[in-house]
Amino acid sequence: MPLEVDPELKPLLDAYFASRPAPEAPGDALAIRRSIETALAAAPTELPAGVRSTERTALGFDGAEIGLWWLTADGAPPGSAVVWLHGGGMIFGDARPCLPNAAGLVAATGVPVLVVDYRCAPEHPHPAPVEDAWTGLAWLHEHAAELGVDPGRIAIMGESAGGGLAAGAALLARERGARLARQILIYPMLDDRTTEPDPELVALATWSYERNVTGWHALLGELAGGPDVPATAAPARATDLRGLPPAYVEVGDLDIFRDEDVEYARRLSLAGVPVELHVRPGCPHAFESAVPDSDVARRARQDRARVLRAL
């Protein structure tokens, strides 16, 4: 039986595919960035009522200043917290347009969120993006007492490229002896070897195989697809997943990341890591952003909020 789009998503996705501009030239990461920036320019920028934002900075592994936003809900008690990483195929580099998305998690759960403005390829290839994610995580641990956060209740969460970076930062945290309560991976970008198009997914892919190859090559250069890619850059390359924090993994069945995400969840489980896996039928990449009022988007947000509240 062929794959089908969720009926609530289909009208908007049909319109998207009908009006989709010509694809960028292979390898043109900056053209993809311009396209994403244009799309995000019309997105709302206001934070939900009752959510406050405080700007902070931290020094990265190479001495660069990394932007942070600490988002909190008015009147919420201290306790748990989440480090949050936006999407963008490893090549879109501004967290500001994504703040309302992260703030929606705060409004829904009361759990504070630290948004990390990690640097992106091609200007900042690996290890800069994942090290910046680690910088945010380390900063939150260092400032936990003043922020009212329990260091044992800190999670890391990301979407798409941010999900891959969250998984990579979880590997770094294990190596460096930092405790993480959970890793929350939303359609994460995990494997630089996802290059062979699945004919069933090509026509339904909102993040294309061509863009995916461009993103990985911008991040990894000549290493992409070869035998020497580090697991902190592409977590699907990790050979030992033992001792990682419990995972929540979510992906649509029309997403080109579906197979790599399901396989990563399977391997985590085999390594003794508790895993909650959701494969959303009829959903492409970033489905809940495309049609936020659909039933499947509401279910996804409810599941994510449930996991955050349980920290």
Q: What are the C-alpha distances in Å from 166 to residues 77, 145, 158, 222, 231?
A: 25, 23, 6, 23, 12
What tokens does 49 get? Answer: 């009522």
Task: Assign 49 to helix, strand or coil.
Answer: coil
Q: Give me the catalytic one of 126, 141, 217, 285.
A: 285
Backbone dihedral angles phi then psi of residue 288, each to the nearest 5 degrees = -75, -20
- Cα 158 from chain centroid (whole Å): 3
Task: Assign 42 to helix, strand or coil.
Answer: coil
Whether residue 255 lies in the annotated active site: yes
Q: Give me the catalytic one of 86, 255, 261, 294.
A: 255
Whether residue 192 lies in the annotated active site: no
Residue with tokens 């409810």: 302
Whether residue 285 lies in the annotated active site: yes
User: What stretches of 86-215 adopt beta strand conformation (E)?
Assistant: 113-117, 149-159, 182-186
Neighbours of 7 (CB within 10 A): 10
Query: Which letter, b or e, does each residue of 179-210 get, where b requires 16 or more Cβ atoms within 10 Å of its Cβ?
Result: ebbbbbbbbbbbbbebeeeeeebeebbbbbbb
Task: Assign 71 to helix, strand or coil.
Answer: strand
Contact 227, 200 (CB under 8 A): no
Q: Give me the catalytic one of 86, 124, 141, 160.
A: 160
Give the per-residue SS3 of 116-144.
EECCCCCCCCCCHHHHHHHHHHHHHHHCH
**Which residues belong to the active site?**
160, 255, 285
